[in-house]
Amino acid sequence: MNFKINKSATGIQVAFDETLTLNKVVFEGVDKLKIGLGGKTLNGKTVKELAITLAKTANQFGLTDLFIPTLEVDDFIQITTQAMANNDYQVQKIDLNAPEENTLQSITFEHGEQADIDKALAIVNGMALARTLGDLPSNICTPTYLASTAQNLAKTFDLTCEILEEAEMDKLGMGSLLSVSKGSIEPPKLISLSYNGNGNTKPIVLVGKGVTFDSGGISLKPGTAMDEMKYDMCGAASVLGTMRAVAEMKLKVNLTIVVPAVENMPAHNASKPGDVIKSMSGQTIEILNTDAEGRLILCDALTYVEKYNPDVVIDVATLTGAVIIALGKHRSGLMSNEQDLADDIISASKVALDGVWQLPLDEEYDELLKSNFADMANIGGREASSVTAACFLARYTQKYRWAHLDIAGTAWLSGVKKGATGRPVALLTQFVLDKAEK
């Protein structure tokens, strides 16, 4: 999305296309458009809902410009701008030059700071990138495509980009990651992208699961809704979107993202249930289910990021269907090896209005991963499977502060509203912002 920011006599105007300055909405003699609270408390959450409703109503009635009085709610300008601009996103069909434009073209605030608008639009741009990548079909958005996206971001924002190919990963001993990709014709990529805004300080590292299509492998998924497995790279999309937002804001922080990108397919040479593989850390893994592949690529990436001497590592993954059963589509699952880190993420989620819920990470759950044939199995059974998936990852993160976000329930919507949500770009960006401001 391309937005223009201009000051007017009535405040600051956010223009979706061409900048227009109007003091009020004029629609067949009506100069005010009121949206009620419906008995709800006025807070950030209801402001977001109101902003989306207002944008949809304006488009429904063909309004092109809105003047919005500033309400006494923390971060009102940022919340409203972000919600209304994000609402402008449209899924773009392949080979369509441009989606049909909404009628709403500009918003004028009564009062506001340009910095708040700039921040909101940077986050929206990051979310738009994440949504676009998520919505692309898997025959287009391959591991190679994700690598190309990272390289383009590096050129645009003067970032450092490194792409490891299969032979290089094999040399590093990434047997776990490569066990997932070997059944696919699409070559795997390990993508690293770094932004340096604060000298030699330790970086925040975000690791995003990038399974561009997940058939389940030999443990084949049911055919129903398998098309939605193109969204199994939304972790990768979200960290790329976060990097775009942070780089656009030019924050005083060091940020690195790492994306293990693969396609998981059944083939004559694909991994089989019962196979034993060795990860980059040297730990061996018995593969009991080839559909539990996300943790197999993440564990090697989590070992790889030790080279950055990170201040903190957060992995983001559409990891388990169980988290959808537990939390639905409203909150992402959060697990961490340090409570202070978990608290910081929860705090950022509240500001960003991008909810999480913390789940346990106790030793008793870790015992479910025991294997008679390797150091661990890649699944721990049906019970608490979101937690045991995180316990698996925790075995590779003992050298640094780490948190895991399971976004399987929040990364996309199904049904008539099918499409990527861009979550948790807002949460991750707010977390980085909080660190930059300390």
Residues 6+ apart with CB under 8 A from 55: 83, 84, 87, 88, 102, 104
Angle at 408 (CA atoms; ends 405, 411), nearest 5 degrees: 90
Strand partners, 208: 316
User: Which residues participate in catalysis according to the annotation?
Assistant: 221, 295
Nearest to 356 by CA among 404, 315, 311: 404
Cα(47)–Cα(372) distance, rounded to whole angstroms? 54
Cα(301)–Cα(282) distance, rounded to whole angstroms? 13
The residue type of 304 is Y
Cβ burial, residue 197 (10 Å; 0-12/13-18/19+): middle
> Is the Cβ–Cβ distance between 383 and 368 less than 8 Å?
yes
Q: State the alpha helices, DSSP H only, in 353-398.
A: 363-366, 385-394
Pairing mode of beta strands 356-358, 106-109:
unpaired
Cα(384)–Cα(143) distance, rounded to whole angstroms? 30
Give the residue carrying structure tokens 């067949």.
28
Distances from the Cα of 413 to the Cα of 221, 277, 282, 315, 388, angstroms: 19, 34, 38, 21, 25
Cβ burial, residue 225 (10 Å; 0-12/13-18/19+): exposed
Kind and range of the H or E run holding 333: strand 332-336
Cα(298)–Cα(249) distance, rounded to whole angstroms? 28
Query: Tokens standing for 235?
Result: 């972790």
